[in-house]
Each structure stands twice: as C-alpha cells, then as structure tokens.
C-alpha cells in the first residue's frame, strides 16, 4: 500500500510539489507563529542596559576567537543547570545580542552567569594559559590578547551598526565610543565621568588586564566576560522552576 502511494504521488509532479509545500508550510507555521506573541513571551526589564564600547569590542573578540563554539550562553530550566550555573536564561537578556550566542554544545561550561564570578586576575591568567588555574582544561591559550592593543578607531562604526538593528545607542554614545572604551580600561583618565554619565554609575571601570598604561584586547574580552549575566537583574527576581 505504502509503495503504491509513493509511486503514485511521485509520478504526479503537481501533486508532489503541493505535498512538499504543505509539509514545509507546517514547519514554517510552527516556527513563525510564536513570533506573533513575542511581546508576551519576552520579559520586561526596565533596568536593561546596553554594552559599553569596550564590552562590545570584547564580545566581537569573543566571536572572532570562536569561544561560542565551546561555550553556550543559555542556562536551561533543568534543576541541575540552575544549581550549577545560576538562574535560567531569559529571552530579554539577549535583547541586544546581535548575533545571539545561546548554543547547545558545551565543551566548556555555560558562561551566561560568568560575570564577576572570578576576579579579573583569574580571567587573565585563565586566558593566557588555562592549565595554570584549571589543570584539566582543554581550552587553548589566548596569550596574544595581552600583547595586542585594542583597535578603537572604528568602535563608533560598531555602535552605529548595532543601532541600525535596534540597540538604543544614542548619538553621543556613538560619537564618543573610542573615548569611552579608553576611559573604561583607564580608571584615572578624565573621560570616566562622561562614560558613567552615558552608561550608568554601575559601569565597571578598571584596568581589566592589570595594566592601566594601555588598552589591550585582553581588557576588552575580560570586560565583556565580567558583564555576562548582569546587563539586567531580571533573572534574579524569577522563582526557580521545579527540576525535570
């Protein structure tokens, strides 16, 4: 019976095309329909803030070096994940992530709640040689980040590109991007006042790589890692689900 059905439909070109369209439409509907309720499924987070230019530069380095291939940023609602990593991830936390870095493959641990879990010194040591702080680590070394000066001349263009896809950067943020990146990694610079005025008093301002005399790619990546999970505190006000 099945063989007869396949033979019949495969010889009918128009019928076969219509069958393909019907099956594809079902899949498309399942993926597209939830988008019509997006305003109901994405949580409200009045305290949500944008990445600073230095943090955004660090995120770009994180993507450039392929960190997302081994580390997800999506804690699921399972009890063991919540107990290990912290509150499960909310959709609103990725509101300004272009592209998003959720993922499902974990060669290394999930990083969604990594921010301020370890000191800057630990993060730097771990990136220079992971085995110095985690003996069994299989993570590659990224010591060159400490030697590479951060390119800051094009940061305004990066913020402008993010603004074009909906991230609410003001024109002042875009215009002052290079100065703000320098100020965030150089605590004694005169630009820190403008930085905190634009991005908030809670902005982390310090020499992330331990050397305030220059701004390196290490500064940027550590600044990004130290803000993960803290662009909004919405997740910490949600009750933990019962484990499956």
Per-residue pLDDT of the chain (244 residues; tens, 9 = 90+): 666 666 776 777 787 788 888 888 898 888 787 777 666 666 788 899 999 999 999 999 999 999 999 999 999 999 999 999 999 999 899 999 999 999 888 999 999 999 999 999 999 999 999 999 999 999 999 999 999 999 999 999 999 999 999 999 999 999 999 999 999 999 999 999 999 999 999 999 999 999 999 999 999 999 999 999 999 999 987 555 555 4
3-class SS string, 92-114: HHHCCCCCCCCCCCCCCCCCCCC
Q: How far apart are CA 108 and CA 127, in angstroms?
A: 13
Q: Is the peptide bond before 165 cis (omega within 30 degrees of 0)?
A: no
Closest CA to 70 of 104, 107, 112: 107
- 3-class secondary structure, 161: helix
Q: How far apart are CA 97 and CA 90, in angstroms?
A: 13
DSSP 8-state secondary structure symbol assigned to residue 122: H
Taking each continuous run of H as one helix and of E as one strand, the counts in the chain are 12, 0
Q: Is the whole-model pTM more than 0.85?
A: no
- The correct CATH number of 53-237 out of 3.30.390.30, 3.90.25.10, 1.10.760.10, 1.10.3210.10 is 1.10.760.10
Between the CA of residue 68 and those of 63, 111, 166, 232, what are the distances in Å? 6, 10, 23, 21
> Does residue 215 contact residue 152 with C-beta atoms inside 8 Å?
yes
Predicted confidence (pLDDT) per residue in 152-204, tens digit = 999 999 999 999 999 999 999 999 999 999 999 999 999 999 999 999 999 99
Give 149's strand partners: 216
> Does residue 57 contact residue 208 with C-beta atoms inside 8 Å?
no
Q: How far apart are CA 43 and CA 235, in angstroms?
A: 10
In this structure, what are the phi and psi dihedrals at residue 128, rounded to the nearest 5 degrees? Answer: -70, -50
């Amino acid at each position: 019976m099945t063989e007869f059905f396949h033979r019949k439909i495969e010889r009918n070109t128009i019928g076969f095309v219509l069958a393909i369209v019907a099956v594809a439409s079902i899949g498309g509907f399942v993926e597209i329909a939830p988008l019509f309720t997006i305003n109901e499924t994405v949580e409200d987070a009045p305290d949500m803030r944008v990445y600073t230019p230095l943090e955004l530069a660090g995120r770009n380095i994180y993507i450039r070096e392929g960190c997302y291939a081994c580390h997800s940023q999506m804690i699921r609602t399972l009890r063991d994940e919540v107990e290990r990593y912290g509150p499960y991830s909310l959709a609103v936390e990725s509101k300004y992530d272009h592209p998003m870095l959720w993922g499902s493959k974990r060669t290394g641990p999930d990083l969604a709640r990594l921010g301020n879990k370890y000191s800057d010194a630990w993060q730097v040591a771990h990136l220079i040689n992971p085995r110095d702080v985690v003996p069994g680590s299989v993570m590659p070394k990224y010591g060159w980040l400490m030697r590479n000066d951060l390119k800051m001349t094009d940061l305004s263009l990066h913020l402008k590109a993010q603004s074009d896809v909906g991230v609410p950067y003001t024109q002042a943020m875009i215009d002052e991007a290079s100065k703000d990146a320098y100020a965030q990694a150089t605590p004694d610079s005169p630009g820190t006042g403008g930085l905190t005025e634009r991005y908030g008093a809670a902005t982390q301002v310090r020499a992330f790589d331990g050397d305030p005399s220059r701004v390196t790619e290490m500064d940027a990546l550590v600044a990004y890692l130290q803000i993960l999970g803290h662009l909004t505190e919405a997740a910490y006000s949600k009750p933990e689900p019962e484990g499956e």
